[in-house]
Every structure is written in structure tokens, then in C-alpha cells.
Amino acid sequence: MKEFSSSRRHFLKTATVAAGAVCFSPRAHLAGHSVITTGATESLPIPGDSPADYTLRIKASPVEIAPKRIISVVTYNGHFPGPLLRFKEGRQVTVDVFNDTDTPEQLHWHGQRISTDVDGAAEEGTPFIPPHGMRRLVFTPSPAGLRFYHTHNRAGANLAAGQYSGQVGPVYIEPSQEPGRYDREVFLTLKEFDPFFSRGGDMPMNFMSPAAHVKSLEDLGESAMKASLAKGMPHGYEVGYDSFTINGRMLGHGDPIRVKSGQRILFHILNGSATEIRSLALPGHTFQVIALDGNPVPNPVRVPVLWLGTAERISAIVEMNHPGVWIMGDLADDDRRHGMGIVVEYANQPGKPQWIAPPPFRWNYSRFAKLGAAAPSPGAVMEMLIAKDNAAEHGFNRWTINGTSYPMTGETVPPSFHLSLGKRYRVRLRNATDDIHPIHLHRHSFELTKLAGTPLAGILKDVVMVGGYQETEVDFVADNPGLTLFHCHQQVHMDFGFMTLFDYL
Ligand SMILES: [Cu+2]
């Protein structure tokens, strides 16, 4: 079992030297990408047609993540993150997407209940945005809350492609009523850059509760791994990073979040990582979690630390009641020192930004669940056993669901699960690997109904972290006909087989 202490730096190269120059001057670069919401829209009219509500342009751009630290990545509109798109629930929008690259692209509207024509997944049949071409997307946004958009291209062994690039941006779908009173919204997109392959894991593993393993899953996973290592196989490739950013700036090099005592700030936080699980704490403050993956939670309790799997979102209110200049950052010292943080600065407070590690805390989705409630019984149960073939695919781990890998060649495959319209399905995820998998369902939301043996109800999400050697159950109602992709959101897992397709009968 991999432990929280990071082994990433064993694999680090000379770039560490440059990263060591991180300083904590909050005023160093005020011109960084703003963390504050703007209502700005960009649009380009198409001759003979009505102008789009938004225009996105996919193109390679330099992004300055710290002074003189410039990366070249594919972005939306030349910035990282892509522009915040604000939609209104149920009001149709038009988005023009231009592709200025040589690669066919897919733009996925993560967390939205929309059709396969615009969802942005080749496996579902969404047309590609052709190289040096464009697509006009028309759809009706829903449900309300924090969503996002990102490329759905597979990257395989190419660390410049897929979500390793800068193709991530937040979406906020305004509900008719905001859940909770606040003074200001702040959007934060967490994302690493400068990826590299390593042969050992550094994923935090021991932060979730309940922590109990299922013995049969553990036996299965451990014996498979032992057999592979005994044959002389090395551990399969994993991905590490040299640079860490919030809103595209390394800690100390972006605009601080300037606050006043007594304010209530609503943070909309997006883990835009291709592969990583992130944590976030703000010394002396607590987060009142009001929504997970954009969906209001039944029990909006306060917690000292947030954890977000790849593609997860959290909306949380922080009451500014502890004046000072603070680092809001990742609990992993190494990642924070390499940029994963942002300064929160109270008015008229002098001094350098301070980091204080929070007390030990375990993340458990059921804190936010409906107390004493039970989810309705499903009409059918879908069993999924998740397994790993260590280093079996040119040194990459090959991932299987019920023994089958989704092909890596781009060919279309027949759907593995068939849905009846209107039926409630329970997906029983049994993870026979020691990795945490952020599992994502397209075009539908699911309800968490069991976590490591403990039933729960009332939490609607579109990504769930399934712990190593654990079982998790999620229910969804088949209410949006069409091909539907179900996959691990960890790029190096989905690209190497961890995907399956549903269709409607
Ligand atoms: Cu995974």
C-alpha cells in the first residue's frame, strides 16, 4: 500500500532547481489570471447566422505560471484556465468552438445532462472538432451548479495531449436560487503542469474513511501484483509533475484573494488535474461544503480540509474570521512548495503568507449525506470488478472492468451494459487494485448509496473516488437516452482500458 508521504521527488529532474525559486511575495504579479468571476463573454459572429453566446478557440499558447517560468500548452482562448462560462439553467446557449491545432478535438461538457451530439466523447459518437475547423454547439445547460469543460481526447503515452494540456475551464450554471448567503464568489482551478513518467506511485492513499479493505479484493489484487513482479516486470508507469498551479499561477505568483473580516466567500473549486487527487486547507478557517460536483448536499457541514479526486468539484463557504495573510494550499508539502496554493490576504494585514498544517482529518462523503435516509431500491444491479494488469501494455498498467479493457486503438466497440429508459440502476464497483479511482458517468448524475459497506443517501455526484480494495455503490436513473460513457477520470487509467459504454434498449 502506498502511503501519503510523497515519493514523487525521487523521480525529479533538474527542473526542481527552478521550482525552488518559489517566493511568497503576494504582490509579485498582479497581472495573473483573475480568480474572480467576470461576466465577460467573447463571441464571433458567423456570417448569415446569429452570434454565439461564447466562443472558444483551441490553440497552443505560452502560459506564464510564475515569472520567467513559461510553459507551452494547448489552451482555450490562449489562457489557463479557460474562461469561466456562465450559463442559466434551462436557457439554450450557443458555443462556437474553433480548433486552431492539427489534432481533431473533443470538448466535453462535464457534469451536464445533454445529448451525445454535443457531450464531447468520440466513444458516444460526438463528431470531432476538425483541425483548423470549428463546430457550433447548441444545447440547454443543466443541472445547475459548478460544472466544467475539458478535452476528452485520449493522450496515451503523449504527455502533451489530453488533459495533460491546458484544456480545462470552469462552467457555472446559475440556479434559480443560490443555496446559502455569501458576499462573493471565487473560482479556483487546481492543475499541474510539466508532467513526466515515473515507475512508482505517489498518490495519497490514507485520507479516506471508512478505511476498511475487502479481504477478497485485496487478495486478488496483491496476488496479481506479486505474480507480475515475480516475472520480473517493473511497476507500471505513473505520472508525476514538476509544476503546480491554482488558476494557472504557482503559489506566491498570482493575485492573492483579498478579503475583509466578516465576509463570507463562496469558493467554487475544481480539480482540473489529469491524474492527481488534491487536498486544500486554509489555516484557521473551515469550509462549509454546500455542494459536491455542483449539486447541493443535504447536510452542509463544516470541515477543516477538502479532498478532490480528479474532475471533482466542491462549492464551499468560508467565513473570513481569522485575520492574517494565509496560504490556502495542498496538504502535501512537496506539491505546495512546487506551487499548489494561493495566498489569502485580509485587508490591512502585514506580513508574509503563513502555512499551518491542519490537524489529522479523514475525508468521508457521508458527512454531507442525508442523516438516517435510505436510497430507493434499484431496478437492477450492474456488477463491475476493477482490476489491473501491472505494466502489461508497453510498460503501462492495463485496466479492466469485468476482465475487459476498452480498446486503446480508437475503434468503436459495442456497449457492455444496456439500459431501460426510466429504470434505476445500482452500479456495484469492486476495486481489486490498491489505487483510488475517480469514477465518472457521462450525461447523468448518480447518487452515492454505499461507501465501503456503509449505506448513505442524498448525495448526487458525477465523479466518485473509489478507495483501494474497497466497494462503492452508486445509483442512477436512466433518463437521458443515447450512448453513455463510464470511466475512470484518471487519464493514464482511462487511456489504458478503464472505460465502458452503456446504451439504451
Ligand atoms: Cu483509475
Count other C-beta atoms under 10 Å from residue 267's C-beta.
23
- Type of residue found at 442: H
Distance 13 CA to ligand 1 centre (A): 26
Distance 463 CA to ligand 1 centre (A): 11
Provide CB contacts within 8 A for 128, sequence distance 6+: 104, 105, 106, 122
Distance 460 CA to ligand 1 centre (A): 20
**247 close to 189: Cβ distance less than 8 angstroms:** yes
Distance 313 CA to ligand 1 centre (A): 17
**126 close to 412: Cβ distance less than 8 angstroms:** no
Distance 397 CA to ligand 1 centre (A): 10
Provide CB contacts within 8 A for 76, sequence distance 6+: 56, 57, 58, 82, 83, 149, 166, 167, 169
Distance 310 CA to ligand 1 centre (A): 9
Three-state secondary-structure class, residue 333: helix
Segment-wise mean pLDDT, segments of 10 residues, the chain, 505 residues:
34 29 28 28 51 97 96 97 96 97 98 98 97 97 97 96 97 80 94 92 77 95 95 94 98 97 98 98 98 97 98 98 98 97 96 96 96 93 97 95 92 92 98 97 98 94 97 98 98 97 97
**85 close to 171: Cβ distance less than 8 angstroms:** yes
**170 close to 271: Cβ distance less than 8 angstroms:** no
Sign of CA dihedral 328, 329, 333, 336: negative
Cis peptide before 47 (omega within 30 of 0): no
Distance 488 CA to ligand 1 centre (A): 5
Distance 489 CA to ligand 1 centre (A): 6
Three-state secondary-structure class, residue 69: strand
pLDDT, position 474: 98
The residue assigned the cell 487536498 is: 279
Distance 275 CA to ligand 1 centre (A): 8
pLDDT, position 19: 29
Counting Cα atoms < 13 Å in the Cβ hemisphere of 158 gives 10
Three-state secondary-structure class, residue 276: coil
The neighbourhood of ligand 1, an ion, using CB within 5 A, equals 437, 488, 490, 493
pLDDT, position 206: 84
pTM across the whole model: 0.90
Distance 356 CA to ligand 1 centre (A): 31
Distance 188 CA to ligand 1 centre (A): 24
DSSP code string of 298-366: SS--EES-EEE-TT-EEEEEEE--S-SEEEEE-S-HHHHHTT-EEEEEETT--S--B--PPPP--B-GG
**125 close to 210: Cβ distance less than 8 angstroms:** no
Distance 434 CA to ligand 1 centre (A): 10
Distance 26 CA to ligand 1 centre (A): 36
Distance 268 CA to ligand 1 centre (A): 24
Name 288's bridge partners: 302, 317
**60 close to 52: Cβ distance less than 8 angstroms:** no
Q: How far apart are CA 104 and CA 65, in angstroms?
A: 27
Q: How far apart are CA 157 and CA 173, in angstroms?
A: 34
Backbone φ and ψ for 223, nearest 5 degrees, come out as -70, -35
The residue assigned the cell 458517468 is: 441
Distance 319 CA to ligand 1 centre (A): 35
